[in-house]
Chain A
Amino acid sequence: AQTVTQSQPEMSVQEAETVTLSCTYDTSESNYYLFWYKQPPSRQMILVIRQEAYKQQNATENRFSVNFQKAAKSFSLKISDSQLGDTAMYFCALYSNYQLIWGAGTKLIIKP
């Protein structure tokens, strides 16, 4: 069975700090994709970053970057220079075998 685990139900940091959200996954497939989605209070789900499993280079999108450890099946999200607008639920997701598997989410609060 394919699973995604987010072990941090909630995190809070001060504005401008760096924060890392953890995600581990399990799949027997060799071809898969990993995603981080953000769901702010508006509840609009927004794609933050994606990583193809066959790529060794970690994906980055401005202040967002991932640490993809394929052997360890780990996919953490680092947010640099955090901003108040980063306050949201963050979901890690695995696409494999035509399925998108979701983690339980991490609630991130950025404090002023």
Chain B
Amino acid sequence: GAVVSQHPSWVICKSGTSVKIECRSLDFQATTMFWYRQFPKQSLMLMATSNEGSKATYEQGVEKDKFLINHASLTLSTLTVTSAHPEDSSFYICSASPGGNQETQYFGPGTRLLVL
């Protein structure tokens, strides 16, 4: 149980284009979903927290107009990197918490983004 999927697993795009990453909770309803960025050999950096049906809460320093997050349902959240640039290249990970249990997060397998 508690499986989270991400799609795509990796993507290469040209500078200036937008990329959408999907995060789905497959066997539970996720009231809250989280988006992280992980640089090589570093820990996870929380980008934003999204609750179903409401606007995402972004961490300090994260541009909300660049990283658009939509949590349209209890099983789906999307992260769109708009007008991507090479510095946006990274490993993006989503996680999801079952309703009422925000302390435990189940993680997706991650998406590797390379912007050329």
Contact = CB atoms under 8 A, between A and B. Distances in A.
Interface of A: 33, 35, 37, 42-47, 50, 91, 95, 98, 100, 102-105
Most buried by A among B42, B93, B103, B105: B103
Contact of B103 (A43, A44, A95, A103): A95
Interface residues on chain B, size class: 10 to 19
B103 A102 contact: no
Given A33-B103, A45-B93, A100-B105, A105 B43 contact: yes
Contact of B46 (A37, A47, A91, A100): A100
B44 A43 contact: no
B28 interface: no
Given A44-B107, A45-B107, A98 B43 contact: no
A103 B43 contact: yes
A95 B97 CA distance: 12
Interface of B: 34, 38, 42-44, 46, 91, 93, 95, 102-107, 109-110
A67 B104 CA distance: 20
Contacts of B95: 45
A45 B44 CA distance: 10
